[in-house]
Amino acid sequence: MNGEKRGPLAEGERVLLFGGTFDPPHNGHIHFLKSAIEAAKPARVVVMPSCIPPHKAASATPAALRLAMCECFKPLFPVLEVSDWEIRQGGKSYTIDTVKMLEQKYPGAWVYLCVGSDMLTTFTEWRNWQELLRRTVLVAQSRETGDMPALRAAARALEAEGGKVLFTDSPALPLASTDLRAHRRDLSEVPEATRRVIEENHLYER
Ligand code: ATP
């Protein structure tokens, strides 16, 4: 995995964590990560496919293939690791555990956490969300046209609890993996590297 070759981060450098089910990764994810990199200016990016997401049904797609599909993120940043850490832990993946792992791995670094709008507005349902707010800076992105007022309100409520929320400047690119799995959207909306894995492994066929 590239990125592993570099040495430790300097004090105060930023690690940008992009977690998700990625079943499959799509152009909305690419758009978000590009914008989050511009906003957060990280020294390193970690893309982390979850094992079992706590808030939705377990993915039917094998974890190894979700990892392979995440290779599409690598061209976005020179020091970007696609990590199998949550998958190796097994069971439900809680972001608080992943953040603590990153803090140990990169002492002195700041963890910036990507949250799409659905994640921002449900943030207080996350395990140990108050502790997460203390330990991270949230990098938020609109997903639906017109969702900014709700996002600003959610951010204000989290800031009142001591959280830090950084918005990307990018407009929404509405798209969800669910729509791709259900054939409501087609493979023109996934990156080329991901499309190859889907086709070679006959994923999401009717
Ligand atoms: P599903 O439809 O299976 O629930 P999803 O499309 O929401 O999947 P995830 O892998 O769960 O994708 O998302 C990972 C992260 O990317 C989350 O923070 C989510 O909010 C964000 N995200 C997903 N799609 C978009 C999009 N189109 N624009 C911005 N952020 C997005």
> How close is the Cα of 66 to the center of ligand 1, in Å?
14
CA distance 3 to 16: 13
> How close is the Cα of 176 to the center of ligand 1, in Å?
6
Report if pTM > 0.85: yes
Contacts 24+ apart (CB under 8 A), 154-157: 154/120, 154/121, 154/123, 155/120, 157/124
CA distance 96 to 108: 17
For residue 106, pLDDT over 90 is answered with: yes
Residue 55 pLDDT grade (very low, low, confident, very high; cuts 50, 70, 90)? confident
Query: Of the residues 26, 66, 132, 177, which should be mutated to test ligand 1's pocket, given the most ligand atoms within 8 Å of the CB?
Result: 177
Q: Per-domain residue ranges for the chain?
A: 14-93+111-121+135-200
Is the CATH code 3.10.129.10 the one for domain 14-93+111-121+135-200? no
**Tens of pLDDT along 112-167?**
999 999 999 999 999 999 999 999 999 999 999 999 999 999 999 999 999 999 99
> How close is the Cα of 7 to the center of ligand 1, in Å?
31
Closest residue by Cα to atom 27, ligand 1, is 28
CB neighbours of residue 71 within 10 Å: 17
> How close is the Cα of 28 to the center of ligand 1, in Å?
7
CA distance 119 to 176: 13
pLDDT average, residue stretch 197-203: 98
Ligand 1 atom, smallest distance to 28 CA? 27
Residue 206 pLDDT grade (very low, low, confident, very high; cuts 50, 70, 90)? confident
CB 172 within 8 A of CB 180: no
Give the pocket of ligand 1 (CB within 6 Å): 20-23, 28-29, 32, 56, 114-116, 118-119, 141, 143, 173-178
